Amino acid sequence: MRALLVRPPSILGRIGRQNLQHPTNIVGLASELIARGHAARVLDLEVAPGGLDELDRVLREWDPDLVGVSVVTPHVPGAAALLARVRGQRPRAVLVAGGPHATALPEDLLDEIPPLDAICVGEGDESLPELCSLIEAGALRGGVGADLSALTELPGFVVRGHGHTGWREPIGDLDALAPLDRSLLDWDAYTRLSGHKGVASPGVIRKGIRATQVHLSRGCYARCVFCSTNAVWGERARPGIRRRSVGAVLEEIDRLAGDHGINHLNFEDDIFPPTLTYLEELGQALVGRGFTWSCNARVDGLRREHFELMAASGCRKIDFGVESGSERILELNKKLVTRDRVVTVFAEAKRVGILRTAYLMLGSHVDETPDEVEQTWALAKEIDPDFATFTVACPYPGTELWTVCNERGYLERLPSGRPDWKRYGYYPGLPPWRFTHFSPEQMLATQQRFLRRFYLNPRFAWRMLRRVRGGDSLGALVTAGLDVAHFLLKDVGRRVRRPLLSSTGDRG
């Protein structure tokens, strides 16, 4: 049984290479399939040099029995196009989609993409191999008129014509999963697209860096209104966070160094660290091991001694989810943090020499006011991060923000009645949604104003130049600067003109 797992093309253009990542989700699924006796390949159309032509080539050569697509919201149109292409060439292959958007809106996605046979909801590590076993046994084929009833016996799917088969219980022992087989990736493709650094750890610039993501856990204890994590892992996974053992993580790290020359790790978890005890054990094990690393982290929990250990064990950068400078908005967003805590944590990380990114959001709550958005800029000035993102909050399906915006009629829709999914991203241009106190034009103008204030400031440029240590790092810095400048300037003079909402909440 042959399975082809695909990541659709990126919609981000040249700015996307500044945050290029391996599709470890589908690499993990393919690895699990191989471990259970199936054949599997990974095709990442974000980096494949031939694009959809490369998909055609792989379909001819590989002749898969199953094609699976990982779908985040802005990838929906791309997934629809590539699946139509697959169905034309492989009329009897089983076509399945998974991922955050597919899990949040499975029936809608089946309706929107006619070639799909089924949606895999939630975790696919157990569901997908069982599906492939049905195909191998001859009990299941896809396509027009296919009998998909055999799939109704497996939990974890929404099947065309048969509905939801029931939720599958979360995987309790993450160590039991197959190790990620990163030989399934075309490593050279990432290097060609992004330069010497390959997979990105934005802001960590040095000669010879070779990075990838490593995952420690699944799940999150928070319920942030703008985050789809709980929609993906599901309420069945609450209340705790499922963790891999530190020993299993260290084995993976050693394999990465030996097999692929990895010397920098991106810990990409919804919660880092999973626990403070976990951080202490992992940090102590990494001391003297020769790796540098970066991570995403919340601002609650970490204390001075933890930052000292992180710096000693090779941590070079922490990306903090800050979101807002307003205490009211932080509370409404269920962030479980305070403004004072943000200030303290950024000071402690700076004290030990760790680079700090502030993830900041405009409209993270639907009722955020202009004054509260300005409080976010004031906080950014106070904490003085090395890097900052000022994203317009996106109402992703499965989030509380999506539900509220949908109920209030704040979402623009295409003539088909659906949202324009390809514009549902971190940097979508003019957002196809509004908030109570902001029109799309006002959100975009505020985002551009904040980004320009931060990144076109000579002080930022000087701080970055001081970190240059040779031609490679200078080249990476220039490339990143040009990409950011292109993004900041590309919308000037060609924005859609509409009447602005008033800052007092005129809903029009």
* pLDDT tens digits for range 18-34: 678 899 999 999 999 99
**What average pLDDT score do residues 291-305 get?**
91
Q: Residue 321: its pLDDT value, please?
A: 92
For residue 19 the two structure tokens come to: 């945050």
pLDDT at 465 over 70: yes
Tens-digit pLDDT profile for residues 288-297: 899 999 999 9
Tens-digit pLDDT profile for residues 236-283: 444 568 999 999 999 999 999 999 999 999 998 988 888 999 999 999
For residue 271 the two structure tokens come to: 């919660």
**What average pLDDT score do residues 336-354 get?**
95
pLDDT at 335 over 70: yes
Q: How many residues does the chain have?
A: 508
> What mean pLDDT is reported for the chain?
87
Question: DSSP secondary-structure letter at 105?
Answer: S
Q: Residue 51: its pLDDT value, please?
A: 82
CB of 242 closer than 8 Å to CB of 271: no
H-helix segments, 169-263: 187-194, 229-233, 246-260
pLDDT at 474 over 80: no
d(Cα 183, Cα 89) in Å, to the nearest integer? 27
Tens-digit pLDDT profile for residues 70-93: 999 999 999 999 999 999 999 999
Q: For residue 188, name the pLDDT band (cuts at 50, 70, 90).
A: confident
Residue with tokens 């609450």: 238
Bridging pattern class, strands 94-98 and 66-70: parallel
For residues 213-233, b (16+ Cβ closer than 10 Å) or e, as one string? bbbbbbbbebebbbbbbbbbb
Q: For residue 497, name the pLDDT band (cuts at 50, 70, 90).
A: very low
Domain 2-164 is classified in which CATH homologous superfamily?
A: Cobalamin-binding domain (3.40.50.280)
CB of 171 closer than 8 Å to CB of 243: no
Q: Select from 423, 401, 403 the least CA-distant residue to 412.
A: 423
Q: Where is pLDDT greater, at 388 or 208?
A: 388
**What average pLDDT score do residues 445-473 get?**
78
CB within 8 Å of 57: residues ≥ 6 apart: 50
Residue 323: φ, ψ to 5°: 75, -60
Strand, coil or helix: 496: coil
Q: Return the domain boundaries, the chain.
A: 2-164, 195-489
Candidates 3.30.930.10, 3.80.30.20, 3.40.50.1000, 1.10.1240.10; correct CATH number of 195-489? 3.80.30.20
CB of 94 closer than 8 Å to CB of 131: yes
Q: Chain centroid to CA 413: how far?
A: 24
Ramachandran assignment for 429, one of left (phi > 0), alpha (psi -120 to 50 degrees), beta (any other): left
**What average pLDDT score do residues 322-332 get?**
95
